[in-house]
Amino acid sequence: MIVKSRPAAAKANPPAMPTFANVPESSLLRRGALAAAAVAACAALMPMRMAQAQASVPAAAPAAAGARDFAAERKAIGDSRAWTNYRFAAAERECYSKFFVTRCIDNAKEIQREELQVLRKRELEVGEAERAHRAAERDREQALRRAEFEASQPQRAASEQSSRAAFEKKQQEQQLRDAQRQAEAPQRAANAQAYEKKQSDFDARMREAQQKGAEQARQRQENVKAYEAKQRDLEQRQKAVEERRAKAREQQQGPASAPRPFGF
């Protein structure tokens, strides 16, 4: 076990710390003396361990004013427990040089047990204090949150009232629109009926125009066919007229005279 260096003040005036070896065996036989020695050892050891723990705490993170450093106290208790076990081991080794070895070891164990009981009691007290401190911190936090909640209650009430008023206004506007739509329903129905009639009339006119267009297209085709037939008939009559004229001219000229040998 490595023993930490003690502060300078502790070195200057080291407290009297009873050890297992320097307690007389006649005194060790008495339980009251054992308890007194254990309490004295623990009481003398605790301030030094607390000083060591406080000295080992970094300066950058000092504890709050008035607040207990439970971690430092637990560390001091742990160091004291280790110191007690170390002293028991040293006393046990020393007991082997005495005549009544078993009695010496039993006495050393009794002192160790008494000191460990004191440390255990102290450890329980620290744990209880820490739990109470944490409970108080939780109570303070809850009280703070409750106070903040109560302080913000008027603002929340105002916000809720504003939101409720805005919602009611929107509801009224929606009801007004619904009523207006219901009032306009007959007019919309009449407009829809007029539109349907207009659309129906338009469709009828479209069908009529399509029928007229188809009839006119058929009539144009028939006219084209009649015109082409008329042109063919005219051409045939013209050809017949020309043939009759040619035949008439041949009849008027008579038969052609035979050619004369001398040309007269």
Convert the pLDDT of each residue in 85-128 to its tens digit: 999 999 999 999 988 999 999 999 999 999 999 999 999 999 99
User: What is the three-class DSSP state of 96?
Assistant: coil
pLDDT of residue 142: 94
For the stretch 104-114, pLDDT in tens is: 999 999 999 99
Q: Given the structure tokens 């070896």, which residue do they identify? A: 21
Neighbours of 156 (CB within 10 A): 10
How many structural domains comprise the chain? 1
Whether 164 maps to a domain, the answer reads no
HEC secondary structure over 53-73:
HHHHCCCCCCCCCCCCCHHHH
Whether 207 maps to a domain, the answer reads no
For the stretch 167-215, pLDDT in tens is: 999 999 999 899 988 888 898 888 888 898 889 889 998 998 999 899 8
Q: What amino acid occupies position 156? A: R
DSSP state letter for 150: H
pLDDT of 46 > 90? The answer is no
Q: Which of 93, 91, 87, 106 is nearest to 41 (CA)?
A: 87
Whether 184 maps to a domain, the answer reads no
More confident of the two residues 154 and 13: 154
User: What is the three-class DSSP state of 38?
Assistant: helix
Domain coverage including residue 146:
9-57+68-151
Whether 247 maps to a domain, the answer reads no
- Note the pTM of the prediction, 2 decimals: 0.39
How many Å apart are CA 146 and CA 127, to the nearest integer? 28
Whether 176 maps to a domain, the answer reads no
* CB-neighbour burial class of residue 89 (10 A; exposed 0-12, middle 13-18, buried 19+): middle
The contacts of residue 258 (CB under 8 Å, 6+ apart) are none
Whether 78 maps to a domain, the answer reads yes
Whether 126 maps to a domain, the answer reads yes
pLDDT of residue 197: 87
Whether 197 maps to a domain, the answer reads no
